[in-house]
Structure 1
């Protein structure tokens, strides 16, 4: 007798979801057309093959555990895992599955929730980036956290941030993680590199072996080892492009697609806002503790550092040196040449002083034409007087102001810890008195422990 109903297999093939039947050993016995649509494999490519081979490696153990529970009589209505499609893309599937004792098979219906999971992941990433902008203490901590967040969206073993220095036309690499290369030195924005192209154009760039021919002949793909796949997106803000986020791969197992480009672009604006926020915060903190004219630490920051240094020195029996400087003849030059050139002289004087000390030492401007130098952990008292003499000699050299040579000198008072005091007030008082003693003797000299030199 003829039936008016289509065969069951034809009905199954009309379903958009994947339907599969798996035997007790976990091998496919049947899959419908929806399986091919979602997984990319035809039925003849998987029948008889182990189901677990198609599961994402990171999800295999819990998938096998779920299969054991299903065969023990515990149906699964909302089990989620990831599969690797034939084309290599990963899909998220939500399964409803149960075990048939009569047929001795596991029957499952899988719904593709990839887009839903991606949307959830993206929203979680945006929230995490926003939280990081407020929580992390500095840019390096922020970059590390952003790296981890992006690593949840796409392969990011090789990841770097390129930031634009608008004032100097340079590009720096403050965060650079790569399996082959160290961070490049800062380079001009005009250098023909891929990251510079992204920053200049404001456009995302995805390069694979198939698209490398699109590079202009004058353009350098990367600095260092050549990547197999390269993906960069601009960091755009209301004030323009401030840099680029870049991921790259050296291995065929990790490839980037247009979908990865979309994902990275989606979070880039939030990342750019987080970076800009942190940079502005760092700049404001810098302004609070630094002199606006010379960029050196100011009076407040100096006193903070001096107290910290004295605490460490008293605990660890270290010697400190304190140099108090006043510029001789600055007022005369400031009155003659004007405040603009006077400011230029102060900036250059601060730089000359800074070049005479170690990176571990501190040079601060207290105000006007007064500077102070804090020398950490000096080996003997003579080290402080040697540095003071080097500074005196450096400031004695003429300054070129609008093509004219201007001459100043410095009166320098030297105090030592612990010889001249173990606390801040007596140490500062001794340095200040020594400086005025040098000034009374005509300037262009240093005074320390009653000894004057010029």
Structure 2
């Protein structure tokens, strides 16, 4: 073409970066410019004759039809935003301006692709929301629900799952499922496993092995490797399903990073709280946690007019064993004693170590003092058996046990502890007297 020659008017729309569309009264494309192929993924030939509304994201169709009707009624529409489904299944955010040409009976519309801007804005809001939620609330369930809602603003997710490891293996377990329920053993679970063990993003096409459609999973990365995984699932619907890509993984990566930070922070707080409330040698509740549980148990007993009992346990010969065999041997003994006492009581009872070789058992909702005596007898029998303390050391260890109960003997925390302590010393004195007589 001669540079001096004018550009044909008909070719000007194809020079524009924005989409230019002519849509008839039935809602079908009758003309699109070349930019439409870049924005929608369809060639102009594929789009002409196609129904406009079929390409709109399902969630946006109702208001899109209302806006189209307003244009056909003669009202010029400027800066109307909606989402279309591209040929490859991904979503594109568009900003439209349109007017109705009465002589031609056509809607003339121009659309600008604002996907990157909208995703950037949604990502900022998501990260800010997660940060605020993580700082304001230690409730992980609440944080996960917030995450699900925020991810829904970034990706067309039918489901969002969060999986964390448990057990020595470790095995991932879904700790949160938002949206459509997905099977624990399904494709999304396997994808989360792959992301967790490889510490890398994973995504896949729809398969035939389950009801999953597009799916992706990202690891929740910590300093020493993945601490879990987050998975996103789209329904299997070829007409409208999102097709997750590497770009979607990159979009979700900052969210996964923020979640990992929040989870690690919560886990560290839980660890510190556990250390503050438990004995570091045996893992049993310490004196502080025992008092909290005893306070709550007394309140329940008063409301329900129930009985509870305290058993105060002091080991025999512990100082002698420590002096003769060393503190490491004494520590092993205390750990085994804790395990045997725990095995002799119900799961609902509390076993605490309150210092040295002293243990306390809180028995709630007992029928009579005979129940407490029966538990004390089981503990006596368990502690009378020989302990294997390593290095060929096998020792029997007895114990003195005193009990106190509510109501009757005491009605407050300190008076109940004092009564049980006094009963234990009385029991120890009787044991010594009996041993002396023998």
- Report what 2:195 is aligned to: 198
8 A Cα contact 1:97 1:106, kept in partner: yes
Name whichever of 368-377 and 41-50 sits farther off.
41-50
Q: Assess if the C-alpha contact under 8 Å between 2:164 and 2:173 holds in 1.
A: yes
Give the superposed CA RMSD. Answer: 3.0
Inter-partner Cα distance in structure 2 for 1:108 and 1:122: 29
Q: What whole-Å deviation, never above 9, does each CA across 1:402-434 have from its counterpart, x for those lacking one? A: 231122122112222223233223322221221
Task: Determine which of 135, 149, 157 is the counterpart of 2:159.
Answer: 157
Secondary structure in 2 matching 1:340: helix
Residues 156 and 49 (structure 1 numbering): CA distance in 2 closer, same or farther, change over 3 Å?
closer
Find the counterpart in structure 2 of residue 12 from structure 1: 13
Contact 1:392 1:444 (C-alpha < 8 Å) held by counterparts: no
* Equivalent position of 2:175 in the other structure: 175
> Quick one: distance in 2 between partners of 1:384 and 1:250?
58
Cα 1:405–1:161, aligned 2, differ >3 Å: closer, same or farther? same
TM (norm. structure 2) is 0.86
Higher mean C-alpha deviation, range 27-36 or range 142-151: 142-151
Q: Please list every run of 5 or more consecutive structure 1 residues that lacks an aligned counterpart in the other structure.
A: 185-192, 213-223, 446-454
Secondary structure at 2:366's aligned position in 1? Answer: coil
User: Deviation of residue 132 (structure 1)?
Assistant: 2.5
Could you tell me how far 1:82 is from its partner in structure 2? Answer: 0.3
Mapped pair 1:27 → 2:28 = yes
Alpha-carbon contact 1:147-1:156 (below 8 Å) kept: no
Q: Deviations over 1:26-53 (max 9, x none)?
A: 3323221212221122333333443222
Q: How far, CA to CA, are the matches of 1:204 and 1:235 in structure 2? A: 10
Whether the 8 Å contact between 1:77 and 1:97 is mirrored in structure 2 is: yes
SS state of the match for residue 137, structure 1? coil
Q: Comparing 52-61 with 65-74, which one deviates more in the overlay?
A: 65-74
Q: 1:111 to 1:258 in 2, by over 3 A?
A: same
Match of 1:364 among 338, 352, 365: 352
Q: Distance in 1 between matches of 2:74 and 2:256?
A: 47
Residue in 1 aligned with 2:409? 420
Q: Distance in 1 between matches of 2:72 and 2:254?
A: 42
Residue 247 of structure 2 is aligned to residue 259 of structure 1: yes
The answer to whether the 8 A contact 2:166-2:173 is kept is: no
Question: Does the C-alpha gap of structure 1 residues 361 and 169 become closer, same or farther in structure 2, counting only changes over 3 Å?
Answer: same
Say which SS state the counterpart of residue 20 (structure 2) adopts.
Answer: strand
Residue 111 of structure 1 and its aligned partner are, at CA, apart by 0.4
Of residues 226, 242, 251, the one that matches 1:241 is 226
Q: CA deviation at 1:196?
A: 5.0
Pairs within 5 Å for 1:331-410: 331-402=319-390, 403-410=392-399
In 2, Cα distance between the equivalents of 1:202 and 1:367? 43
The corresponding residue for 1:300 is: 288
What is the aligned counterpart of 1:319 among 307, 320, 335? 307
Where in structure 2 are there 5+ consecutive unaligned residues?
none
Residue 112 (structure 1) aligned with residue 100 (structure 2): no
Distance 1:284 1:170 in 2: 22
Flag the 1:67–1:197 CA change in 2: closer, same or farther, 3 A. Answer: closer
TM-score normalised over the length of structure 1: 0.83
Aligned length: 421
| Distance change in 2, residues 1:246/1:375 (3 Å) | same
Output the CA distance in 2 between the equivalents of 1:25 and 1:176: 45
CA contact (8 A) 1:160 1:247 kept: no
| Contact in 2 for aligned 1:164/1:242 (Cα 8 Å) | no
